[in-house]
A and B are shown apart, each in its own frame.
Chain A
């Protein structure tokens, strides 16, 4: 079984923790698009600098970020290598069958490597400095404009909060079920394909029934507490913008302006 950590949030009191999750989430999402603006060494330098600035403001240990990149480092290298030999153009140094090593390919492979690393780092900054509940609230806020298209945003918000709340509970339940089945001889890591595929049902069916029962119980409980749909309700957990959010806004605007100036047009 893969190592499982519920939540990657690491408490801290750096400035970035005081920022509104909505701002942070927006900038994380937009950061990926701003990377697309970079197309020459200077612009890549600028965006790398800004990314490390964000990493630095969390005041967390380097190891936290290394752990974010580590599981993917092999994949990143492999991808960059593959790109290296498939890109053609510029000066050709070496050629064999369909593989070409060209100057264009080398530059591109380096860019791809940087992009991968930056995107992972910035996402890590987001998830490490913000509690899952806050991220979920921010997502709910971001989905609000979809109301114009008659998307049932209120219902989606309900589903989000229930799912978020029950992920840890179901996690525990899954392990209990697996251990219970194991104690009576079930083997989840042995045998041929069909045997393994079959071995999933003794986990899945109890989990499914448990979810079904929880759903019925929970909805009964909600109705008895006076829940009659999402409309006409107040909010207890409210997100508030603060003066710190001007900082991440300034960070982002400065980044975009610098990139627009220094990229090749």
Chain B
């Protein structure tokens, strides 16, 4: 038995998607760690979306989570379609690696590295470049130190979370 079998109907799937999107928004507001390296938990939501709902609905859920978060909390970078695309790309990549697959360490490492490079370093820097006219290289220099540390911590968190969530699936 797994989560997708417990959720038999389409409606149940959609309602659960709504709940996980809400979870992602809340996790995005929580951060832990010392002040120098604050780690937001939003990525856990992206992983859950990708892992549970697959590429299509995971991606849609990611987009919705960005829209609602900006409606409730006010988007810190302003309403900009680029960051919605960013929020969609994360779950998509996680879904491609983790959806319907056994939890393997290499899958977690590969997906996290890809998300870091494509989404956090690539896309987000590009949006800042477009939106604010930042010099691309300078924006990269500003971003790189954080993005060199984050993925390793994220991998550890993702590993424990997926272990736990797959356990939930079996028990139910």
Contact = CB atoms under 8 A, between A and B. Distances in A.
B7 A216 contact: yes
Interface stretch (A164-172, A238-246, A255-263): A164-172
Interface string A184-207: 000011000110111011001101
A132 B75 CA distance: 12
A207 B157 CA distance: 16
Nearest to B128: A79
A112 B134 contact: yes
Contacts of A112: 132-134
A164 B68 CA distance: 7
Contacts of B116: none
Interface string A206-225: 01110110111011001100
Interface in B57-72: 60-61, 64-65, 67-68, 70-72
Contacts of B19: 162-163, 166, 170, 211-212, 214-215
A68 B142 CA distance: 22
A29 B79 contact: yes
A56 to B, nearest CB: 19
Contacts of A72: 76
A169 B22 CA distance: 9
A60 interface: no
A72 B77 CA distance: 9
B138 interface: yes
Contacts of B3: 212
A148 B70 CA distance: 26
Contacts of B168: 205, 208-209, 212
A167 B21 CA distance: 9
B170 interface: no
B33 A159 contact: no
A111 B135 CA distance: 12
B135 A205 contact: no
B14 interface: yes
A34 interface: no
Given A32-B78, A163-B25, A219 B12 contact: yes
A139 B71 contact: yes
Interface residues on A, range: 35 or more
A28 B130 CA distance: 17
B117 interface: no
Contacts of A162: 14-15, 18-19, 21-22
A116 interface: yes
**Most interface-central of B30, B141, B172 (chain A CB within 10 A):** B30
B14 A158 contact: yes
A227 interface: yes
B6 A212 contact: yes
Given A167-B26, A204-B164, A68 B18 contact: no
22 contacts: A6-B72, A7-B72, A29-B81, A82-B138, A82-B139, A85-B138, A86-B141, A112-B133, A115-B131, A127-B72, A127-B73, A159-B21, A164-B72, A167-B72, A170-B23, A196-B32, A197-B156, A201-B163, A208-B164, A209-B168, A219-B9, A219-B12
Given A7-B72, A198-B160, 15 more contacts: A1-B31, A28-B79, A29-B79, A32-B131, A78-B142, A83-B135, A119-B80, A120-B76, A158-B15, A163-B68, A170-B19, A193-B153, A197-B153, A200-B41, A212-B168
Interface of A: 1-2, 4-8, 25, 28-29, 32, 35-36, 68, 71-72, 78-79, 82-83, 85-87, 108, 111-112, 115-116, 119-120, 122-124, 126-128, 132, 135-136, 139, 155-156, 158-164, 166-167, 169-171, 174, 188-189, 193-194, 196-198, 200-201, 204-205, 207-209, 211-212, 214-216, 218-219, 222-223, 227, 229
Interface of B: 3, 6-7, 9, 11-12, 14-23, 25-26, 29-33, 41, 44, 48, 60-61, 64-65, 67-68, 70-81, 130-135, 137-139, 141-142, 153, 156-157, 159-161, 163-165, 167-168, 172
